[in-house]
Structure 1
């Protein structure tokens, strides 16, 4: 079977399906089945079409096709690397920062990224937040007037139907102190056919500012269909911002990272966060050092439009929260009140007077 003979246009959700599609070698079957027994597998047709099966280093395949290296967990890797559980007062809610909270509506995704920081928690068969659990989560949000922003995540909330989205939107609209709603999703990129005009309208919540954080990691992910989906969301009035992860073998070079950020901006998506990879189990092959990441991000400044500059973010392990770890361009002399030195985009130092 070739890549263009996928039955029914269904996602590839098993090692056998990946092998049949030419995305994994038959001799890898046993090792990859051990990986799939622990971590969910799904590659949508939209992503399959982008993969070059003749390229062993294909950056799209690297993100979604399992690898035997995932069986190795390093001592520093932890099941809940950003500490969701420590800040979950009720099921489905993570309240880490005073003015915002996560609402995790589902635990499933259209694709499963091999570097996912919630890989121990997401997958097919995971319970959706419904009934009494959803009531309790919304009651918590309503009972905490300091919560100004709600971030809908999971899993991927865009796998829900427009009807379910409208139900949640209606209930959030009734909570007066929530002013901003942010949806986090991969769907416009990995399953763009789901983003219809009706779906985009369902995401709007009366009286609230609506943001959609779109996750993409490589410029090739911006297919014609993905670009159309992003346009549908933008035309419906949603403000689009980006989320990316800095990944070795995917985007950890100046040319690719620059093209990725430009692709976002060209599609009305403001670059927002570029995440340093989290310490999730079995993900060491994606991580680079913070120093390497800082050097890459530094290379963007002055060479790309200010619109194309993301904030390089580290999520401190254990739940202490996100901090910016971008490079600095200003260094001060040791003496108090002394002049500083400012580094320009060519690496040259310029004196800057005190005060």
Structure 2
């Protein structure tokens, strides 16, 4: 059976130690409306609504994120605390906004581009984002890819020689046990045409204690390996998270940053500047700033594209180019990501705009 490891050293513990560790961890990760009420993250008046939300969407707030929440409506609390508005559905929302299901040739595989594919070995996360575009599927009790389905998924990858990059996502691949992760990496490493492996994860910041030598040993591969770190606010970078990132980078794994533009979380020039600077200062290259995918019940996080373009434009010249991500929309229906700008050149008029907003002749360029 597939394994999820709740501790890097779980295989070496006595049963009593394992039970004690699991009990302690259960206390640290808030999962139920009762947990949220007891911790002060919701009021008793909100309990009934949050209970209804929790019956549909999973909740998990690990201790490292709980410690960062100063108020339920602050940039950390908004990302992880269930809210009654999640039950309000808009006509333009979709349970599968980027067509994961429609573009899945076999369980665990999503193919949206010619040269790469997603492999989803599980749908478990260290925390559950209230804006997640896979929120209909992720949760602590489901989504593990069984041995037969994993064999089928890896066989599909092996049979398609045009696939050069495999992106491990989910869920969060770093929630797998090191043994299971090592098996997957070894089998990907044995596919000749797979030259690049990318892992998408929140674990280094949301569950930094998992970044152990055993876990990193499991990632050993001859292929080019990249880690895409999901972070939406500068306060997510804690001392423990910084230590986890240093450990990863010392293994020679380059780290990219990806974020979602979210109302109330990072929808200001200052918040984005702080976030991108925090990444670069930790050797994390801001890669993508995502326009929100319109999953059910996420309207409260929506920032219009024109506002997003203006926010990104406001940072040009204020932050180093190393801190400049590509602002993208994952086109609904599974048509892939498209850059949203902002734009600086008008070829028809032959003019170009500098970072301060001044217009100049493009010349012979």
Structure-1-length-normalised TM-score: 0.94
- Residue aligning to 1:10: 28
Residues 1:323 and 2:333 aligned together: no
Identify if the C-alpha distance between structure 1 residues 66 and 196 changes in structure 2 by more than 3 Å, giving closer, same or farther.
same
Q: Contact 1:47–1:190 (CA<8 Å) still a contact in 2?
A: yes
Q: Deviation digits for residues 304-335 of structure 1, max 9, x if unmatched?
A: 001000000100011111111121011233xx
Q: 1:45 aligns with which of 58, 63, 67?
A: 63
The offset of 1:56, in angstroms, is 4.8
Q: Contact 1:197–1:236 (CA<8 Å) still a contact in 2?
A: no
Please give the secondary structure, in 1, of the residue aligned with 2:37. helix
- Residue aligning to 1:336: none
Give distance in 2, aligned partners of 1:229 and 1:153: 19
Q: 2:357 aligns with which of 326, 344, 347?
A: 347
Please give the secondary structure, in 1, of the residue aligned with 2:65. helix
The offset of 1:161, in angstroms, is 1.0
Residues 1:187 and 2:197 aligned together: no
Q: Deviation digits for residues 219-248 of structure 1, max 9, x if unmatched?
A: 000000000001111001111001100101
Please give the secondary structure, in 2, of the residue aligned with 1:76. coil
Please give the secondary structure, in 1, of the residue aligned with 2:122. coil
Give distance in 2, aligned partners of 1:253 and 1:133: 43
- Residue aligning to 2:266: 251
Give distance in 1, aligned partners of 2:287 and 2:351: 28
User: How many equivalent pairs are there?
Assistant: 342
Q: 2:54 aligns with which of 30, 36, 56?
A: 36
Give distance in 2, aligned partners of 1:242 and 1:227: 14
Identify if the C-alpha distance between structure 1 residues 230 and 115 changes in structure 2 by more than 3 Å, giving closer, same or farther.
same
Q: Deviation digits for residues 185-225 of structure 1, max 9, x if unmatched?
A: 000010101001221221121x2001000000000000000
Q: Contact 1:201–1:236 (CA<8 Å) still a contact in 2?
A: no
- Residue aligning to 2:214: 198
RMSD: 1.2
Q: Deviation digits for residues 131-180 of structure 1, max 9, x if unmatched?
A: 11000000000000000000000011111111111111111111010000
Residues 1:26 and 2:44 aligned together: yes
Q: Contact 1:187–1:194 (CA<8 Å) still a contact in 2?
A: yes
- Residue aligning to 1:151: 167
- Residue aligning to 1:307: 322
Q: 1:264 aligns with which of 279, 297, 303?
A: 279
Residues 1:178 and 2:194 aligned together: yes
Give distance in 1, aligned partners of 2:27 and 2:174: 19
Q: Is the deviation greater in 121-130 or in 85-94? A: 121-130
Give distance in 2, aligned partners of 1:185 and 1:345: 33
Give distance in 2, aligned partners of 1:33 and 1:181: 39
- Residue aligning to 1:62: 78
- Residue aligning to 2:3: none
Q: Contact 2:125–2:139 (CA<8 Å) still a contact in 1?
A: yes
- Residue aligning to 2:291: 276
Give distance in 2, aligned partners of 1:70 and 1:127: 22
Please give the secondary structure, in 2, of the residue aligned with 1:210. strand
Q: Contact 2:331–2:337 (CA<8 Å) still a contact in 1?
A: yes
Q: Deviation digits for residues 35-81 of structure 1, max 9, x if unmatched?
A: 111111110001001111xx353110000001100010100000000
Q: Contact 1:340–1:354 (CA<8 Å) still a contact in 2?
A: no
Give distance in 1, aligned partners of 2:163 and 2:347: 38
Q: Which runs of 5+ in 2 are unaligned?
A: 1-23
- Residue aligning to 2:254: 239
Q: 2:313 aligns with which of 281, 298, 303?
A: 298
The offset of 1:299, in angstroms, is 1.2
